Every structure is written in C-alpha cells, then in structure tokens.
Amino acid sequence: MTSNIHKIRFFRERIPSFECVPGCHDCCGPVTTSAEEMARLPAKSDAEHEAALAEWSCPHLGDKGCQVYAERPLICRLFGTTPRLPCPNGKRPEVMIDPRIEQQIHRFFAETRQVLV
C-alpha cells in the first residue's frame, strides 16, 4: 500500500503536463484506477456510477470538465503524453513521456488491482 503510494507519486511527477483545448473532455470515459488513487476521489453513489456508465462517461466529469483534475487517475494523466494514447485534437506536451516510465506505469496497472472509477 505504502509502496503503491510512492509509485503513484513517482509516476505523477514524471508524466509531462500540457494544455488541453479549453473545456475539452473528448478523452474522458469509463476509466479504472488503483485503490490508493480511488481513495483520494470523492465517493459517488451506485446511481451516479450507473448513470455515468450508461453514457459511457466518467462520474467525475462535470459541465466544465474534470471535477477531480488535481487527483485524476494515472491513465487520465497519461493520455496525450504518448504516441500510444494520442490526443484526438493534436494536443501534446513539448516532450512526450519517457517510454521506460510509460512501461513502468503499464506494469503497475497490470500488477495492482484496478477498480472502475
């Protein structure tokens, strides 16, 4: 658990940030995350989860975009920073993520229990 928290912090610090199209949420949808990251997100009811899933959306997506931006899961952070998860609107950081870090993140996903956000 503690080591997962350290890994999450390590990865967050190494995923490059970039500016999105204002208000865009084209890459949002149902995502999964670790228990540690889930614990930092506000709880949502079963009904809110079901409503989001019925629209193939995320329960944290609001009218003005992601409502949990500072604590959004790793997969949301990774989007647009690698040619394997390209932004459909052509946005990207100046320098894409280090492929070794990306690989480590995918290993982390495979090795930890991931739950639907």
Q: 92 with 20: CB under 8 angstroms?
A: no
**CA–CA separation, 64 and 19 (whole Å):** 15
C-beta closer to ligand SF4: residue 2 or 64: 64
Q: Which of 27, 38, 53, 96 binds ligand SF4 (CB under 6 A)?
A: 27
By the rule CB under 6 A, 25 interacts with ligand SF4: yes
Query: How many residues interact with ligand SF4 (rule CB under 6 A)?
Result: 23
By the rule CB under 6 A, 7 interacts with ligand SF4: no
Nearest alpha carbon to residue 61 among 96, 29, 106? 29
Q: 31 with 96: CB under 8 angstroms?
A: no
Strand 65-66 relative to strand 61-62, pairing: antiparallel
**CA–CA separation, 66 and 59 (whole Å):** 9
Q: Which of these ranges, 8-16, 43-51, 82-90, 102-110, lies near ligand SF4 under the rule CB under 6 A? A: 82-90
Q: Which of 21, 35, 115, 116 binds ligand SF4 (CB under 6 A)?
A: 21
Greatest Cα pair distance, the chain, in angstroms, is 40
Rounded to a whole number of angstroms, the minimum distance from the CB of residue 6 to ligand SF4 is 22
Residues that bind ligand SF4 (CB under 6 A): 20-21, 24-28, 31, 58, 60-61, 66, 68, 72-73, 76, 79-80, 87-89, 91, 117
